[in-house]
Amino acid sequence: MTDKVLGIIGHPVSHSLSPAMHNHAARILGLGYSYVAFDVGPGSPKPALDAMRALGIVGVNVTVPHKEAAARLVDKLEGDAARVGAVNTITNVNGALVGSNTDGIGFVRALKREKIDPAGKKTVVVGAGGSSRSICLALLREGAFLTIVNRTPEAGRNLARILSPFGKASFSPSSSRQAAEAAAGADIIVQTTPLGMRKSDPLPLADPRFHKGQVVYDIIYSPERTKLLKLADKHGARTINGLSMLVFQGSESFKIWTGRRFPEEKALSFLKRKLKGG
Ligand code: ATR
């Protein structure tokens, strides 16, 4: 059987568990797909998108730093990708590249799996990049009260503006007193920046005052516990890493590409075993 190719484009991608997860799922379902990590460094991802067409690659996930650039380069945007201008899933439909975004739904499904309902909850989202965009949109849609915290005020305000047709989001710069207060008073804190992937990274929130009753979700899953999650743990907050979001956003992408239901719980246990070195 000829393998149909799926993949992920981004940088860095060597740590990504998406190839292992999707290949595992394809094997379980007996589908002839191979999922490959393509390291596409900073600069335009256009050559990678052209290669998708030239090589007949069926679909790719898009990760840091290309989610917003990809939204400008695809032939068509649909759903949340069109609403927020960020793409995490590209599908090659007879040579036309269609951009979608499954991060938001993947994130909300990850919360709900933990029996956490964001409706009416004070929620702080740290970061205003490609991942943050669709997570924020999904949170507004679920009825959360949203504060965006970001290092660069312009990017944070711009995101609040993009989201304004869907609900109200306030913005505070990362280093401000307002950001620290919003985080201290939040029911849910979502960390969407790459800070925490490297040991030497500073905390993405200045002066965090975590406490019992809070949920802290870090979309990073490698390392399993970032500095931020360890600190939140220590102060009694409930902490969750990005593994469940990885599975649910991947599940939604897989359904778009293959039309098949993704074996979610099996994928989650597989990844947990893998992270434990099993
Ligand atoms: P993704 O597509 O995964 O969201 P991204 O689009 O590169 O990645 O977004 C990165 C986010 O992390 C942004 O909010 C960025 O903040 P800025 O708008 O200030 O650039 C944030 N980020 C990245 N590196 C950071 C750092 N060293 N300190 C603080 N924030 C950082």
Burial of residue 71 (number of CB atoms within 10 Å: 0-12, 13-18, 19+): buried
Distance 115 CA to ligand 1 centre (A): 28
Residue 20: per-residue pLDDT: 98
CA-nearest residue for atom 6, ligand 1, is 129
Can you tell me the distance from the alpha carbon of 45 to that of 110, in angstroms, rounded to the nearest whole number? 29
Tokens coding 121: 């909850």
CA distance readout (Å), 166 to 145, 161, 172: 12, 10, 19
Distance 205 CA to ligand 1 centre (A): 12
Q: Tell if the pTM clears 0.85, that is, is over it.
A: yes
Instruction: Say which residues have a Cβ less than 8 Å from residue 194's Cβ, sequence separation at least 6.
Output: 64, 201, 220
Residue 277: per-residue pLDDT: 83
Q: What are the boundaries of each domain within the chain?
A: 4-101+246-275, 104-241
Q: Given ligand 1 and candidates 193, 218, 219, 220, which is best to mutate, with the most ligand atoms within 8 Å of its CB?
A: 193
Q: Is 67 a catalytic residue?
A: yes
- Consecutive 10-residue averages of pLDDT for the chain (278 residues): 89 94 98 98 96 98 95 98 97 98 98 98 97 97 98 98 96 96 98 96 94 98 96 98 98 98 98 88
223-259 confidence digits (pLDDT tens): 999 999 999 999 999 999 999 999 999 999 999 999 9
Distance 18 CA to ligand 1 centre (A): 21
Ligand 1 within 6 A of CB of 129: yes
**Adjacent-strand bridge partners of 91:** 59, 98
Ligand 1 within 6 A of CB of 150: yes
- CATH homologous superfamily of 104-241 equals NAD(P)-binding Rossmann-like Domain (3.40.50.720)
Tokens coding 143: 């009825």
User: Minimal CA–CA distance to 255: which of 112, 54, 100?
Assistant: 100
- Tell me if 4-101+246-275 shares its fold with 104-241: yes
Can you tell me the distance from the alpha carbon of 63 to that of 51, in angstroms, rounded to the nearest whole number? 17
Distance 240 CA to ligand 1 centre (A): 20
* Architecture of the domain delimited by 4-101+246-275: 3-Layer(aba) Sandwich (3.40)
User: Minimal CA–CA distance to 220: which of 127, 85, 81?
Assistant: 127
Q: Angle CA(274)–CA(192)–CA(232) in degrees, nearest 5? A: 75
Can you tell me the distance from the alpha carbon of 188 to that of 218, in angstroms, rounded to the nearest whole number? 11
Alpha helices in the chain (DSSP H): 18-29, 46-55, 67-73, 79-84, 103-113, 130-141, 153-163, 177-184, 227-234, 243-258, 264-275
